[in-house]
Amino acid sequence: MSKRLREVASREANQLWNDLVSDKPLLPFLVPVFLLAWGIERWIVPLSNWVPLVVCVWATIEYGKHQRKQAVEELNNKWKRHFLCTQPTTPIEPCEWLNKLLMYVWPNFLEPKLSKKMLSLVQKRIKEKRPKPIQSVEVQDFTLGTAPPILGLQKTYWSTEGGQQVLHMGFEWDTNEMSLLLAAKLGVPFKGKVARIIINSIHIKGDIRLTPILDGQGLLYSFECTPEVRLGIAFGSGNQTLPATELPVVSSWLEKLLIETLNRTLVEPRRKCFSLPPVDYKKHAVGGTLSVTIVKARNLTRVTSGSKSSLGEKRSFSSGTNHQTGSGSYGVRGAFVELTLDELIRKSKASEENGMSPTWNETIEMAFHGNSGTLHLNLYGRGSNHMKVDFLGTCQVKVSQFLALSPIF
């Protein structure tokens, strides 16, 4: 114990000495002078003990200053952390250091991983959305090139939206080093011929947003609006190939396909999740409990013709003295939500508010089997006689294990 105390005292004394030397550069020269004066007074002219007393007083004052300085620095650091965590917005600033870092980690780390991950997605989307003149299409080569996208070069800032902190960042990717080689087998009138389509450049420009979720265990990312997209396309040469002038729709088809894919997956309100789990459970999920909290609906309208009941049949809402007939909209009464997960069905309580924005604030728990499923939410409203049920809207939420062995869904 005494050895540990000596080490702590020695370390603190060393730190105090270093601070004193940095504040007073002449101190190393004054110490020998004081020691010489004290030696003379002690052994040559022993008149008093004033030198040790002065040194002790001076050391006490300097130690007090050092302690106060450390306390002020600690309070300043705490205040900076508190201000950083609580401020709703931050100033707009460029993010050059991040782009400098991307230049080094992109070619040999990020680009191979992203190319491998996106290859299957590109193959699937192109096969699903191929135009009629193309019988089949296959991705033969896919690389993103050595030039990384530019993030936040013009603006990067934080804001608060709906009680959540959101990072806004500019996104621009303009490269002519990528390579996407497609082999398309054509139909009538070019039946039997093969067109080799090469995408050698891409331009995507927009604004992205990052939202931390689950106390920092995940990030939601998306484009704030549909980005600007351009593709550079060339056609290969060889036997039974076609020039670009004979396939004028290919360029517009690929650009439209890319924009449609982005809108379906990465443009608000659709988002992707990047998982940051603190624990890896080393096993696949086989089930659990899904907790759904229904809070509020806004700007609802009731269509009075061809309404859909919860049983799937068409019904019309009977018009009263204060309601219009035909197709129109008015306030909703007794609205409730029907939740369907696989074969399990749950219903919320009817809202006590009659109007365009009913509230529930109700949590419903449902058994979740396997590691993926689709939650359907159907909204209904009751008629004036409480017998007829009108269909108001629906949405679905796909739930799946984010990554193999990840605890995040």
What digits encode the pLDDT tens for the residues 13-62? 888 778 777 777 777 777 787 777 777 766 665 555 566 777 788 888 98
Residue 172 has pLDDT above 90, yes or no: yes
- How much of the chain exceeds pLDDT 70, in percent? 79
For residues 282-302, give the mean pLDDT: 78
Q: Give the pLDDT band of residue 237 (cuts 50, 70, 90).
A: very low
The residues with which 93 forms a beta bridge, in sequence order, are: 156
Residue 191 DSSP SS3: coil
- What is the distance, to the nearest Å, from the Cα of residue 30 to the centroid of all Cα atoms in its chain? 59
What digits encode the pLDDT tens for the residues 210-234? 999 888 888 889 999 999 988 888 8
Q: Which helix (H) or strand (E) holds 66?
A: helix 50-86
For residues 368-376, give the mean pLDDT: 82
Residue 105 has pLDDT above 90, yes or no: yes
CB atoms within 10 A of CB 302: 20
Is 46 or 333 the better-scoring residue by pLDDT? 333
Is 388 or 183 the better-scoring residue by pLDDT? 183
Please report which residue ranges of 269-341 form alpha helices under DSSP H. none
Q: Residue 165 and residue 88: Cα distance in Å, rounded?
A: 7
Q: Which helix (H) or strand (E) holds 153?
A: strand 150-161
As given in the structure block, the two tokens for residue 323 are 């309601």
For residues 278-304, give the mean pLDDT: 75
pLDDT value for 46: 57
CB atoms within 10 A of CB 391: 21
Is 134 or 294 the better-scoring residue by pLDDT? 294
Measured between its terminal Cα atoms, the distance across the chain in Å is 50
Query: What is the DSSP track for 69-127?
Result: HHHHHHHHHHHHHHHHHH-S----B--HHHHHHHHHHIIIIIHHHHHHHHHHHHHHHHH
The edge-to-edge listing of strands for the beta sheet with 389-400 is: 344-347, 336-341, 372-382, 389-400
Q: Give the pLDDT band of residue 309 (cuts 50, 70, 90).
A: very low
Domain 287-400 has CATH 1.10.8.100: no
- How much of the chain exceeds pLDDT 90, in percent? 11
Q: Give the pLDDT band of residue 91 (cuts 50, 70, 90).
A: confident
Residues 6+ apart with CB under 8 A from 241: 193, 194, 195, 196, 235
- In this structure, the strands spanning 307-308 and 272-275 are unpaired
pLDDT value for 104: 92
Q: Give the pLDDT band of residue 343 (cuts 50, 70, 90).
A: confident
Residue 323 has pLDDT above 50, yes or no: no
Name the average pLDDT for the chain. Answer: 78
Residue 98 has pLDDT above 70, yes or no: yes
Q: Residue 393 and residue 380: Cα distance in Å, rounded?
A: 7
**Contact (Cβ atoms closer than 8 angstroms) between residue 58 and residue 31:** no
For residues 319-334, give the mean pLDDT: 46
For residues 136-144, give the mean pLDDT: 86
56-65, 156-165, 399-408: which has the minimum mean pLDDT?
Answer: 399-408
DSSP code for 41: I
215-224, 236-245, 316-325: which has the minimum mean pLDDT?
Answer: 316-325
**Contact (Cβ atoms closer than 8 angstroms) between residue 339 and residue 368:** no
89-98, 106-115, 180-189, 267-276: which has the minimum mean pLDDT?
Answer: 180-189
Residue 287 DSSP SS3: strand
DSSP code for 216: G
Q: Residue 202 and residue 191: Cα distance in Å, rounded?
A: 30
For residues 138-151, give the mean pLDDT: 89
pLDDT value for 322: 34
